[in-house]
């Protein structure tokens, strides 16, 4: 007879909240009256994510392993879960914005209708809206929360799939430029499946080498047996799978295409939340399972960090599309985040973990804000994301330009913005660990990166606006809330980040 594992419901409350909301969302989709569905779904998704946020905040200080060792509820898990739910709620607000597009929503009403068919043209003007995105996004958020708390590799894999599958779907749901969006979805799906296969194969090899899938057991086995080829190969494949999700070069190729093709609210969601989740899993895997054999992977992560920073910063220089530019910027930021990963001492202490978590929070908030601004600048074909269309934007709409300039400065890491505090924290952590050369490269890469961020600012402020330039839409309530929150957070985390850094520092202990 199999006994049910002991579940600590209190510790799982955030997960239950979010997954509960997602399941309810499916039921609403099936049985709810169509005309009220949108309002109900938005409310449900927000209640789920905000409920998850509140419950995870209440869990602060909790340290336990539950569900037969499959889930760890510890400082990093709770901090990152709160980050994911908070950013997720902001993204859901962007999904719910209906006053920007004349066709009301950023999502196509019926994705299966072929592009350009008579039915498609009919839909363009029909008042129907798509509401499946809300339960899908909520499921993805739940998967991400599970991902950062997974304490064994199998749960980690399940969480990876739970978060990925809804993302593949909603990437393909753009109302405008549908072919581009669908192409992005297929690419993301194919490459994501490829990466999942790497992860799964790595999992199998590690199991073969250690006889266990639990992170703590793997740690014990590696300490005992040292390293053998199976284990090392397994680790390599696991790293590849996770780095793909975190869009780290050289596993980044999907990022620009998918970021550009997906509906912008979805891009904001992916850029912020997926990054947090993937780095949460990377940190847990490397330090909980392989912390004692860190000398094997440290040089590798070191090298990957450099490649990612350089590739992201250099390639972003010549981008002419803002969404693509932000995609490359996210690749460079993944490299900066890895410098924080390096700055973590083998016992899981050190300032690297806190620094990385703070960076993830700061970067996530800024990125959601930046993409939110992108949804506002529009021309007849939807969003105007080509760089040339942003020329002289400051003259047309000084406030929008100022907000965007703030986000770009934060991404560039200019002092008094959250980006500077984050970079400062991770670089310092890496230096404490003696990773000097890495930080030199990182500082140089930031200098290069500053150039392309500032170029957009210069373009907005110092160029003549084009004759038939885009218009700046007046944001509705949801987008206004998102912008207010992200602007405030970017400034507060830049000027007085002490309190949040403190919280991150206190949360920065893995449960073994």
Partner 1 sequence: MDTVAADGLLAWSWLLIALPLAGAAVLLLGGRRTDRWGHLLGTGTVVTAFVLGLLCTLQLADAGGRPVSVELWTFIETGSLDVPVGLLFDPLSAVFVLLITGVGALIHIYSIGYMAHDPRRRRFFAYLNLFVAAMLLLVLGDNFVVLYVGWEGVGLASYLLIAFWHERPAAATAAKKAFIMNRVGDVGLALAIFLMFAQLGTVTYDGVFGSVGALAGGTVTAIGLLLLLGACGKSGQFPLQAWLPDAMEGPTPVSALIHAATMVTAGVYLIARSAPIYDETPTARAVVLAVGAITLLIGAIVGCAQDDIKKVLAYSTVSQIGYMFLAVGLGPAGYVAGLAHLLTHGFFKAGLFLGAGSVMHAMNDAVDMRRFGGLASRMRITFVTFGLGYLALIGFPFLSGFYTKDAIIEAAFDRGDGWGYVLGGVAILAAGLTAFYMTRLMLMTFFGRPRWDEGVHPHESPSVMTAPMVLLALGSVLAGYLLVVAFPLEEWLVPVFGRPEAAEHVVAPLVVSALVTVVMLLGVASAWMFVGRREVPVTAPARVSPVVLAARRALYADTVNESLFMRPGQWLTRALVFLDNRGVDGAVNGLAAALGGSSSRLGRTQTGFVRSYALGMLGGAVVVAGALLAVTAG
Residues that bind partner 1 (CB under 8 A): 186-187, 190-191, 194-195, 198, 227, 229, 232-233, 235-237, 239-240, 244, 250-251, 253-254, 256-257, 295-297, 299-300, 303-304, 311, 314-318, 351, 354, 398, 414-416, 421, 424-425, 427-428, 431-432, 436, 439-440, 443-444, 447-448, 450-451, 454, 458, 462, 495-498, 501-502, 504-505
Q: Where are the alpha helices (DSSP H) in 270-384?
A: 275-284, 294-316, 322-342, 352-374
Cα–Cα distance measured from residue 139 to residue 147, given in angstroms and rounded to the nearest whole number: 12
Identity of the residue, 14 or 350, whose beta carbon is nearer to partner 1 in the bound complex: 350
Q: Of the two residues 98 and 396, which places its CB atom closer to partner 1 in the complex? A: 396
Between 39 and 300, name the residue whose CB sits nearer to partner 1: 300
- CA torsion sign for 362, 363, 368, 370 is positive
Give me the least distance between CB of 294 and partner 1, in Å please: 11
**Identity of the residue, 116 or 434, whose beta carbon is nearer to partner 1 in the bound complex:** 434
Angle among Cα 212, 214, 215 to the nearest 5 degrees reads: 115
Residue 444: how many other CB atoms lie within 10 Å:
13
Residue 65 phi/psi, 5-degree rounding, is -115, 125
CB of 243 to partner 1, least distance (A): 8
In the complex, minimum distance from the CB of residue 47 to partner 1, in angstroms, rounded to a whole number: 33
Partners of 379 in the β-ladder: 382
Closest approach of partner 1 to the CB of residue 228, in Å:
8
Which of 14/413 has CB closer to partner 1? 413
Q: According to DSSP H, which parts of 126-171 are helical? A: 133-149, 153-171
When the beta carbons of 124 and 317 are compared against partner 1, the nearer one is 317
Minimum separation from the CB atom of position 240 to partner 1 (A): 4
What stretch of H or E contains 471?
A: strand 471-472
Q: What is the dihedral of CA 450, 451, 453, 458, to 10 degrees?
A: 130
Closest distance of CB 232 from partner 1, Å: 5
- Cβ atoms within 10 Å, residue 92: 26
| Other C-beta atoms lying within 10 Å of the C-beta of residue 466 | 12
Q: Which is nearer to partner 1, 17 or 188 (CB)?
A: 188
Cross-strand bridge partners of residue 71: 66, 150
CB 333 within 8 A of CB 363: yes
- Residue 111 CB, nearest approach to partner 1 (Å): 20
């Amino acid at each position: 007879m199999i006994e049910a594992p002991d579940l600590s419901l209190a510790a799982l409350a955030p997960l239950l909240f979010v997954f509960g909301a997602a399941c309810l969302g499916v039921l609403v989709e099936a049985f709810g009256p169509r005309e009220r569905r949108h309002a109900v779904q938005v409310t449900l998704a927000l209640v789920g994510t905000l409920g998850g946020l509140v419950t995870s905040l209440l869990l602060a200080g909790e340290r336990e392993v539950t569900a037969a060792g499959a889930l760890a509820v510890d400082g990093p898990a709770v901090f990152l879960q709160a980050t994911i739910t908070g950013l997720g709620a902001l993204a859901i607000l962007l999904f719910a914005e209906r006053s920007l597009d004349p066709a009301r929503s950023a999502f196509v009403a019926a994705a299966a209708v072929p592009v350009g068919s008579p039915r498609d043209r009919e839909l363009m003007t029909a008042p129907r809206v798509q509401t499946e995105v809300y339960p899908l996004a909520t499921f993805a958020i739940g998967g991400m929360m599970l991902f950062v708390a997974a304490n064994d590799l199998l749960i980690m894999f399940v969480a990876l799939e739970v978060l990925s599958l809804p993302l593949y779907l909603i990437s393909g749901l753009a109302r405008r430029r549908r072919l581009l969006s669908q192409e992005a979805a297929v690419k993301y799906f194919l490459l994501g499946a490829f990466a999942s296969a790497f992860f799964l194969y790595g999992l199998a090899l590690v199991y073969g080498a250690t006889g266990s899938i639990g992170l703590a057991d793997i740690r014990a086995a590696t300490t005992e047996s040292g390293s053998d080829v199976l284990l090392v190969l397994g680790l390599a494949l696991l790293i590849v799978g996770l780095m793909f999700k975190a869009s780290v070069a050289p596993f980044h190729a999907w990022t620009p295409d998918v970021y550009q093709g997906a509906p912008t609210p979805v891009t904001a969601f992916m850029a912020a939340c997926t990054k947090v989740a993937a780095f949460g899993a990377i940190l847990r895997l490397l330090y909980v399972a392989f912390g004692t054999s860190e000398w094997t992977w440290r040089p590798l992560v070191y090298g990957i960090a450099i490649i990612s920073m350089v590739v992201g910063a250099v390639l972003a220089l010549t981008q002419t599309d803002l969404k693509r530019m932000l995609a490359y910027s996210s690749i460079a930021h993944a490299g900066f985040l890895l410098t924080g990963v390096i700055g973590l001492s083998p016992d899981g202490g050190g300032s690297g973990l806190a620094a990385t978590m703070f960076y993830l929070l700061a970067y996530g908030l800024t990125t959601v804000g930046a993409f939110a601004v992108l949804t506002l600048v529009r021309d007849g074909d939807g969003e105007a994301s080509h760089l040339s269309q942003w020329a002289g934007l400051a003259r047309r709409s000084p406030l929008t330009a100022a907000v965007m300039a703030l986000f770009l400065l934060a991404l560039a890491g200019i002092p008094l913005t959250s980006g500077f505090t984050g970079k400062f924290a991770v670089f310092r952590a890496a230096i404490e660990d003696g990773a000097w050369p890495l930080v030199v490269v990182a500082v140089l890469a930031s200098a290069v990166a500053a150039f392309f961020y500032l170029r957009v600012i210069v373009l907005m402020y110092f160029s003549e606006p084009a004759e038939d330039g885009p218009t700046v839409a007046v944001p509705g309530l949801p987008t206004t809330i998102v912008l207010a929150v992200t602007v405030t957070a970017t400034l507060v985390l830049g000027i007085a980040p002490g309190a949040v850094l403190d919280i991150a520092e206190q949360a920065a202990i893995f449960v073994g």
